[in-house]
Amino acid sequence: MKHIGTIVREKIVDELKESLKQSEGCFFINFNKVKALSISQLRNNLRKMNSKVYVAKNSLLSKAFDAKRDNIVNFVSGETAVIFVYDKDVVKTAKALVDFAKENEILKIQGGFLNDKAVSPEDLNSLAKLPPKEILLGMAVSGLASPITGFVSALNQVMLKFVWVVEEIKKNKETNKK
């Protein structure tokens, strides 16, 4: 017969594994000495972005991230929380997290995983500096449309020059008749 504590720990590990499967990425933070009100504020902000803050013992986190055990050692120390990102736009969550870490200097971003690739805190800061998804898509579209616009302009100039030449010929013929 299993002890209740063992059953609860197994349930937590299963929940963490399921969250990991469903998420687009996850970030680890050390929230030692951060006030509870600030952590609640972070949870609420991230919930709006389809992200979830999960606090568990480091040993349970290591068991849940078993396949990534070598990399997780760098991210799990002290009082650790995991932020699971369920939205495709991971940049939004990274920005919110980096901004929150600037306001609360005690909070430390330790790293994370994006599509099974380990990400350092420096990479997360770089990710947070990216413009929003809509702006990046606009930049890509304008980059693709620019050559087409130039081509259409060049064709338009050729047609205008042709019309000008025809007009000049017409004027010359009219002046020669007179």
**Does residue 96 surpass a pLDDT of 80?**
yes
SS3 23: coil
**Does residue 61 surpass a pLDDT of 60?**
yes
Q: Are 93 and 85 in contact (CB under 8 A)?
A: yes
pLDDT band of 67, cuts 50, 70, 90: low
- What residue type is 33 in one-letter code? K
Q: Are 111 and 75 in contact (CB under 8 A)?
A: yes
| Higher-confidence position of 144 and 35 | 35
pTM: 0.71
Share of the chain above pLDDT 70, in %: 96
Closest CA to 98 of 86, 110, 89: 110
Which residues, 6+ apart, have CB-to-CB distance to 13 below 8 Å?
A: 60, 63, 64
Interstrand relation of 80-85 and 51-55 (parallel, antiparallel or unpaired): antiparallel
Distance of CA 107 to the CA centre of its chain: 20
